[in-house]
Structure 1
Amino acid sequence: MMPRTVEAVVESGGHVRLLEDVSLPEPRRALVTILDEAAEDPNLTALLSEAALAEDWNREEEDAAWEHLQPEK
């Protein structure tokens, strides 16, 4: 299984609430990063996801699939 990032809220009592359903075959370890809400950047989700998605984005098959939407060179 590949590492995956999901958005969550850490409540004041320390309980972590995932903002999407996650189905796992067995218990897994997880890392939680606490973000400073005041410093929220509208592009933060994209920036945090970039490394995880790079494996899918940076493939020749992906480039070929989207080639028809690129302007003519």
Structure 2
Amino acid sequence: MQTGKPVAEIRQISPTVKQLQPFALCAGEFTVPDDFDTSLPEDILTAFEGT
């Protein structure tokens, strides 16, 4: 270890600018089916739950 040689710098952290994502960034890229929120069939639920 050398004496008198800086090993760290203490300074204020500059604030980061949060960049907002544009609304509807993927508009037109895909369609959501009307039944997207219906319950899954029992056999698929069982496979996920492992019961």
Calculate the TM-score normalised by the size of structure 1. Answer: 0.21
Bigger RCO (CA 8 Å, 6+ sep): 1
TM-score under structure 2 length normalisation? 0.26
Larger of the two Rg values belongs to structure:
2
Q: Which has the higher strand share?
A: 1
